[in-house]
Amino acid sequence: MYSRWNLARNLRRFYEHGRYAHKFYSQALVGINQLETPIRPQALYDRQVSCGLHDVSYQAHHNRSFRSVEDPFSLVADELSLIAKNLREQVAEEVQNKAPKLASAAKYFFERAEGKKFRPTVLLLMASALNMPIPQSTAEEVFDTLSEGLRARQQAIAKITEMIHVASLLHDDVLDDADKRRGIESLNLVMGNKLSVLAGDFLLSKACMALADLKNTEVVSLIAKVVENLVTGETMQMTSTSEQRRSMEYYLEKTYCKTASLISNSCKSVAILAGQTAEVAMLAYDYGRNLGLAYQLTDDILDFTGNKDVLGKGVLSDIRHGIVTAPILYAIEEFPQLGEIVDQGFDDPANVDLALEYLGKSRGIERARQLAEEHATRAKEAIEALPDSDDEDVLRSRSALIDLTDRAIRRTK
Amino acid sequence: MYSRWNLARNLRRFYEHGRYVPKFYPQALVGINQLETPIRPQALYDRQVSCGLHDVSYQAHHNRSFRSVEDPFSLVADELSLIAKNLREQVAEEVQNKAPKLASAAKYFFERAEGKKFRPTVLLLMASALNMPIPQSTAEEVFDTLSEGLRARQQAIAKITEMIHVASLLHDDVLDDADKRRGIESLNLVMGNKLSVLAGDFLLSKACMALADLKNTEVVSLIAKVVENLVTGETMQMTSTSEQRRSMEYYLEKTYCKTASLISNSCKSVAILAGQTAEVAMLAYDYGRNLGLAYQLTDDILDFTGNKDVLGKGVLSDIRHGIVTAPILYAIEEFPQLGEIVDQGFDDPANVDLALEYLGKSRGIERARQLAEEHATRAKEAIEALPDSDDEDVLRSRSALIDLTDRAIRRTK
């Protein structure tokens, strides 16, 4: 696992040469120099990638004022290391000789941005949290023998989830001809496109194979649905009409598709593999869904406020890309004029400033925060509704999952 | 279904504005004007897309000298129409409101250029050919009730196969920067690279969900393997070293991955769904595999010879794209100097002419033809080895499958 200093260095490089580097406006760079070295501004990461929780864990280790029980990440850190190593090997085998470029493209995100193991952490914790004898189970010895195979299968879900997530990042990076004209070196663009498509396809096919090996068609359905949702979500974002861009319902649906579907359906899959009842599986699903939504809403807020909780000091990446999120949508309800500015778009930086003004006058940030808290609470309730257990590991994992919901919404980066 | 005249008209347009036009050399155009209207040069179609069989069927209807029993396509044409309509609806549902562009992107080929439905035809014929009581089956009435559900499931394999095939076409067109596909503008040209990639992913996810619905984990594994093979095949083609490009073994493996894997494993799936024994399932697999290879090898030859069976009168698309196929590989065995020319590549048209010269002096075309015939024979043998049946439909379908192997290798376009 990368040491945190390594990670900081890599992320600085990512930031400088990264995907959005050419799209950053100079205003975004203001304040970057003021950041202390180890802090990694959340918005450096791809919007879709949950990263801040790693930062939060790091914060917790540095004695910031944080209500933290045992660090939820540490509970599964070793297991995750092994899985990550295993995943890299799995991805590279077969292809390394045939097509080394493909192997490195596919491994790109696994090797260079390891810090974001949020989803696998949640899934392993959920697996532990559900590690209880199922009704009408057979003799305990059989249960023990089965449980090792079960854990491996649940780890497979974690791997499959990561492969699909990275595949979607690679495919989302594919640019269209219009982007060619914005000063990007065209050969690199072409090769980048092709390698992105191929590497994404490669990961998807590996995920399909791993999925088939689980020999559980319900899980195959769920994960296939996730892929459909990811694609739908990205398309919703790419192709929305002005009316849709101003709709909270559209935004929430898009957010579910892009962010929450993966974690919710993989949590549910973990439960299904464990042979849990439909009710327990739904609780696992609810936890994942609400956690995902709470996380994304907080992301949206931080994009405006940054780590100092001051409006306008965030990276403002969303709004500059014309992506309309919850705080703005709430603000439009109070100030219809903001709606017209949104329709005009944000190529003109003056519109960004205007939007921030309206946002500041409105209760937009506050209401978005409330919504995030509502979802965090529902996630907690899902865990609390799980069938009782005396097992220490089970209880510890459930505490960790509850802890994660707090960290999701209380982080400042 | 397109009327044949419509198809001819579209293909004329395709030919005039088609993908390969810029790369035609004057020599290749000689003789083009002599072609009678309804003939559609086979090589106009993408190499991967099996098309010539429809042309052959068309020829058969126009009293060309062809050993043809009943037209194999007509046996299942009505069923295919229904399936095609059903497929279009299936693809669009749910997404139509959320992301209409994604829905139309996914349906693009299903609605505008249905293609040659070669694979679904083979699969439905195979389903009929295997429609015999399985050993230890229950009472006949039960068999009849089950058989309707069975046919629906086998039709699902046909749909899944088409979805996966079209998904791979969409991605390949992005990889190839293609302008044309199936006689119409490629989707990436019309709607952009990213939407093409997303639409391909979408179709893949729909295919996976339909696959899961069959609730047969062996079939899920087989089709997942197909997806992996398609990606591997494309990777092998895009990233081969010079040594690999000159290897017949590499070429055959790549050809299996890109072309034969889909048809062979879906034939096998049809057999598995029918509850056939492992031996029968392997025969179905063998048929598909050998048919696919025979078809592709014939494709390779036609790319050189065209419909007048004269060397150098084909479209020469493969060699101009630097794709080295069986005839050339055989020729290199006789003329090592040709191997060096292959290494140099074919950007220089003089190399193309040189290669044609060597090819002409060698037995390359002849040996490739022999190999195709070997595979066609093996495909026939697989059908003849199926368990006996008295049922007329079964026998008719088996004849049709055998007929298809002849058409695969004897077509001239």
**pLDDT tens-digit readout, B129-157:** 999 876 654 555 455 556 778 999 999 99
- What is the interface size between A and B, counted as CB pairs within 8 Å? 148
For residue A386, what pLDDT is reported? 96
Judged against a pLDDT cut of 80, whether residue B227 lies above it is answered with yes
C-beta atoms surrounding A23 within 10 Å: 12
Confirm or reject contact between A186 and chain B (CB < 8 A). Answer: no
Scanning the structure block, which residue is given the tokens 């006789």?
Answer: B334
Judged against a pLDDT cut of 60, whether residue B291 lies above it is answered with yes
Q: Which residues of chain A have pLDDT under 50?
A: 1-3, 5-68, 137, 141, 181-185
Q: What is the mean pLDDT of residues B326-334?
A: 95
Contacting residues of A for B194, CB less than 8 Å apart: 171-172, 174-176, 238
Left (φ > 0), alpha (ψ -120 to 50) or beta: where does B97 sit? alpha
Confirm or reject contact between B74 and chain A (CB < 8 A). Answer: no
Q: What is the ipTM metric for this complex?
A: 0.76
Whole-number Å distance between alpha carbons of A280 and A272: 9
For residue A189, what pLDDT is reported? 64
By C-alpha distance, the chain A residue nearest B253 is: A98
The residue type at A278: A
By C-alpha distance, the chain A residue nearest B250 is: A98
CB B110 within 8 A of CB B253: no
| pTM recorded for the entire structure | 0.78
Q: What is the mean pLDDT of residues B23-36?
A: 36
Between B179 and B86, where is the model more confident? B86
For residue A21, what pLDDT is reported? 35
Structure confidence at residue B84 as a pLDDT band (50, 70, 90)? confident
Contact B193 A171 (CB under 8 A): no
CA dihedral A264, A269, A270, A271 (to 10 degrees): 90
Judged against a pLDDT cut of 90, whether residue B214 lies above it is answered with yes
Q: Which of A270-279, A329-338, B300-309, B356-365 has the weakest average pLDDT?
A: B300-309
Whole-number Å distance between alpha carbons of B246 and B301: 17
Between A36 and B385, where is the model more confident? B385
Confirm or reject contact between A213 and chain B (CB < 8 A). Answer: yes
Contact B216 A216 (CB under 8 A): no
Between B189 and B138, where is the model more confident? B189
For residue A179, what pLDDT is reported? 57
Judged against a pLDDT cut of 80, whether residue B324 lies above it is answered with yes
Judged against a pLDDT cut of 80, whether residue B64 lies above it is answered with no
Contact B197 A202 (CB under 8 A): no
Contact B224 A231 (CB under 8 A): no
pLDDT averaged over every residue in chain B: 80
The pair of structure tokens assigned to B76 is: 């299942």
Distances from the Cα of A99 to the Cαs of A138, A169, A200, B230, B232, in angstroms? 47, 21, 14, 14, 9
For residue A14, what pLDDT is reported? 43
Q: What is the mean pLDDT of residues B58-73?
A: 51
Shortest distance, CA B133 to any CA of chain A (angstroms): 27
CB A154 within 8 A of CB A216: no
Contact B239 A209 (CB under 8 A): no
Contact A212 B195 (CB under 8 A): no
Contacting residues of B for A193, CB less than 8 Å apart: 174, 193
Q: What is the mean pLDDT of residues B289-294?
A: 96
CB B387 within 8 A of CB B129: no
The closest of A203, A147, A199, A149 to A174, measured between CA atoms, is A199
Judged against a pLDDT cut of 80, whether residue B261 lies above it is answered with yes
Confirm or reject contact between B212 and chain A (CB < 8 A). Answer: yes
Whole-number Å distance between alpha carbons of B11 and B45: 9
By C-alpha distance, the chain B residue nearest A167 is: B201
